[in-house]
Structure 1
Amino acid sequence: MNEVSISTAAGVFDAIVAGPPEGRPVLLLHGFPQTGRVWQRQIAALAAHGYRVVAPDQRGYSPGARPERPGDYRMSVLIDDVVAITEELGWAAFDLVGHDWGGAVAWWTADAHPGRVRTLTVVSTPHPGALAAALRTDEDQRERSRYMIDWRETPTTEERMLADDAEGLRAAYAGKIPQDSADAYVRHLSQPGALTAALNWYRAGRPDGAIGVIDVPTLYVWSTEDSAFGPAAAEGTGQWVHGPYRFETLQGVSHWVPEEAPETLSRLLLEHLRAHGEYGSTANTPSVDSRKR
């Protein structure tokens, strides 16, 4: 694995890169409060199988792409970052993987640019349409999502999370990820302006428009002990995917799937990529018969 900088018109993104340059390209998007480091085990597994893997620190997490205004973290801008990064890498098409907020960006990018996204893999985060429906009808999901309202406070949230050696921030990981990773995330988000930038994802407001159904081959991985996303939204996600769909539930695993269940996630990801071809024209062809619940 190497650390590189990817320069775009929006700023400079730090990233972890691995695998042969000629390999099939895969972009991995992290969530809050983490960095591209969250994908270390998946990066190693994919690179070992010949894939070219890039895991950027997204907007706000990369010091060179850290605007101050919450409005600069709108979903449309985050989608544009994905496009800009992949264009700078020279990727006409790529496989897209996301977790947490990175999963939300992945859903929206697959909707906006289906011709470029070969396959989609989302971990934890349900389709935004399914989540919206659950928030309207499911009290359990409304309770799970209340933290997002609390975190929009400024600067109360930052002060609370970073007080006492970032005790509040460390509590978010619930002891489910390796200690060295938790320490690395805390160091990263303790940099001046970093945590505020990360929280601006929550403060940016609603997306600019509505999201539709997803036509690209999709793997959705949800875990039963996820504190943020409940079964109603997870089980409803399949209604929003018209392409080949695979829904996998991990029993007894929390929200932090990439680090808590790395081998399982890597296996599922590799199976998904292999199932939908190398660069073939059939990769984005919907097939109801291939859907797996």
Structure 2
Amino acid sequence: MIDTWQQPLAHGITLSCRAAGERGRPVLLFLHGFPEAAFVWDDLLLHFSRPEHGGYRCVAPNLRGYERSSAPAEPSAYRAKHLVQDIAALIATEGGQVACLVAHDWGGAVAWNIASQLPQLAQRLAIINSPHPGTFLRELTHSTAQQQASEYMNFLIRPDAEQLLAQDDYRRLWAFFTSWGGAPWLTDGVKQQYRAVWDGPAGGPPGAGLVGGCNYYRASPLRPPRPGDPAAAAVTLPEEMLKVSLPTLVLWAMDDVALPPPLVDGLDAYVPRLTLERVEGATHWIVHERPQFVAERLAAFLARPV
């Protein structure tokens, strides 16, 4: 059974959350990406909450700006420091430390930052197709292929991005899923779950639920340079933001069009306790495509000594 609730945090933000498993058990915290929401983790929440799979307390928040979580209007409210503060405050309500942060896409961007800046909040880190800031900056700055693969980011910062994404029943967003591998997992029922998130509050303009997600891109300089905007080319990241000492599992789907394989090259220079598995024949949406595989690899990682 999935429980849902609104979790007020000490700094005034509220996150809508989904969870399975008893309070007081070791916590797995799952962070989603764009253009998704916490519901995408439901199968894994139920799986790992069962006694035979660890009996964990499994929690998946909707990140700031998504579903019924707080959605500040200003793009600056979606800078990394604020996103990290949200998750740190949520962890405080769940006992102060999690057994593992599990994260995909933008959720991974938050998790990488927590692991480098606040490692005491987690015992382990599991990343699924979310680039480490060091390798992402390298590729955005020096790789024409990565710049082209990430060009969609400069679409998502347009002031009318939400309205364009909402056109024709979210035609562009469905293509975001299906053009990378057909997406047989994208059933009518799953589509309706996405629509409920993207539509936003009743009575709002089309695509109102996408404003927060687009603001993540507007707030971040880690995107391809364009005329008049150096973007990633103007960014320098301090060393302390790049080193991750936690035991870290990285599952990397090798057919990810937006985040191609060179993003994991040299990753061990930043993450000395790294377990990296390159997964052939899977796309950015590997959590949907191969949920049992993801569960098996995560279980094996959790079973190792810290």
Q: Which amino acid aligns with 2:145?
A: D
Aligned to 2:212: 197
Residue deviations 1:124-181, cap 9 Å, x none? 01211011111222222111111111210011x1121101111112221114243222
Shift of 1:213: 1.1
Q: Which amino acid aligns with 2:190?
A: S
- Structure having the higher strand fraction is 1
Shift of 1:57: 0.5
With 203-212 and 264-273 compared, the bigger mean Cα shift is at: 203-212
- Three-state SS of the structure 2 residue aligned to 1:65 is coil
Aligned to 2:73: 68
Aligned to 1:279: none
- Three-state SS of the structure 2 residue aligned to 1:118 is coil
Shift of 1:78: 0.3
With 23-32 and 10-19 compared, the bigger mean Cα shift is at: 10-19
Aligned to 1:183: 192
CA RMSD in angstroms comes to 1.6
- Superposed, 1:5-24 pairs within 5 Å as 5-8=6-9, 9-24=11-26
- Out of 263, 267, 272, the position equivalent to 1:233 is 263
Given that residues 91 and 121 in structure 2 are in contact (C-alpha distance below 8 angstroms), is that contact kept between their aligned partners in structure 1?
no
- Superposed, 1:240-251 pairs within 5 Å as 240-242=270-272, 244-251=273-280
- Three-state SS of the structure 2 residue aligned to 1:255 is coil
TM-score by length of 1: 0.89
Aligned to 1:221: 251
In structure 2, the gaps of 5 or more residues are 223-234
With 179-188 and 116-125 compared, the bigger mean Cα shift is at: 179-188
Shift of 1:93: 4.1
Shift of 1:188: 1.1
Given that residues 133 and 242 in structure 2 are in contact (C-alpha distance below 8 angstroms), is that contact kept between their aligned partners in structure 1?
no
Residue deviations 1:80-139, cap 9 Å, x none? 001111112233344101100001111011011112211000100121101111122222
- Out of 176, 184, 199, the position equivalent to 1:172 is 176
Shift of 1:10: 3.1
- Three-state SS of the structure 1 residue aligned to 2:266 is helix
Q: Which amino acid aligns with 1:28?
A: F
Given that residues 13 and 86 in structure 2 are in contact (C-alpha distance below 8 angstroms), is that contact kept between their aligned partners in structure 1?
no
Distance in 2 between the 1:51 and 1:23 partners?
A: 6
Given that residues 30 and 38 in structure 1 are in contact (C-alpha distance below 8 angstroms), is that contact kept between their aligned partners in structure 2?
yes
Residue deviations 1:202-252, cap 9 Å, x none? 00133896422110000001111101111111223222102x211111111
Q: Which amino acid aligns with 2:166?
A: L
Aligned to 1:4: 5
Distance in 2 between the 1:183 and 1:251 partners?
A: 29
Aligned to 1:130: 135
Distance in 2 between the 1:14 and 1:123 partners?
A: 22
Residue deviations 1:60-97, cap 9 Å, x none? 00434111100000000000001111112233344101
- Three-state SS of the structure 2 residue aligned to 1:54 is strand
- Three-state SS of the structure 2 residue aligned to 1:241 is coil
Given that residues 12 and 62 in structure 1 are in contact (C-alpha distance below 8 angstroms), is that contact kept between their aligned partners in structure 2?
no
Aligned to 2:226: none
Aligned to 1:287: none
TM-score by length of 2: 0.85
Q: Which amino acid aligns with 2:278?
A: T
Q: Which amino acid aligns with 1:224?
A: M
With 138-147 and 98-107 compared, the bigger mean Cα shift is at: 138-147
Q: Which amino acid aligns with 1:19?
A: G
- Three-state SS of the structure 1 residue aligned to 2:5 is strand
Given that residues 15 and 54 in structure 1 are in contact (C-alpha distance below 8 angstroms), is that contact kept between their aligned partners in structure 2?
yes
Q: Which amino acid aligns with 1:45?
A: H
Aligned to 1:257: 286
